[in-house]
Amino acid sequence: MRHVDFSPLYRSTVGFDRLFTLLDSLGQPENGQSYPPYNIERTGEDSYRITMAVAGFADSDIDIQSHRNVLSVKGERKEEGNGEGSEVIYRGIAGRAFERRFQLADHVEVVGATLKNGLLHIDLKRNVPEELKPRKIAIAAAPAKAKQIETSVN
């Protein structure tokens, strides 16, 4: 895999450190982290949804936090007894603890989260403040004043 060195750009730019850090992190694998599986979908012009498969986890086992453009989802199941004398012969449903982080763009906020049928749905919405939205500037027509230069003819 090819690595791009952004260090020369650090000297000639101001305020783009976060951008270069994000670009650096795109080239690095997530240490093989694939659990739990998830989908990211666009549900509207400014709304998104992250869906995570968290079978076996209750809503009290999952902690969702959003801080400084990072959405963090942690899950840790409490050990449950399967009953007296019961023994698990094969465990195919993963119940291990996990932590998944998502980088959020500026002005993206978490609207809510629901857990239904083993799927955790996290709804996101992008709210750009009015002062940051582009605005149309009307061009006013200049008044047509005709200037007349008087000359004297002899």
> Which two tokens mark 17?
């450190």
Burial of 57 (0-12, 13-18, 19+ CB in 10 A): buried
Specify the pLDDT at position 122.
94
In this structure, how many other beta carbons lie within 10 angstroms of the beta carbon of residue 122? 21
Amino acid (one-letter) located at 122: I
Domains of the chain from N-terminus onward: 1-32 (no CATH), 35-80+90-129 (2.60.40.790)
The one-digit pLDDT tens for each residue of the chain (154 residues) are: 456 666 666 655 555 566 666 666 665 555 556 788 899 998 988 889 999 999 888 989 999 999 888 899 999 987 665 566 678 788 787 778 899 998 888 888 899 999 999 999 999 998 878 777 788 888 888 776 766 667 766 6
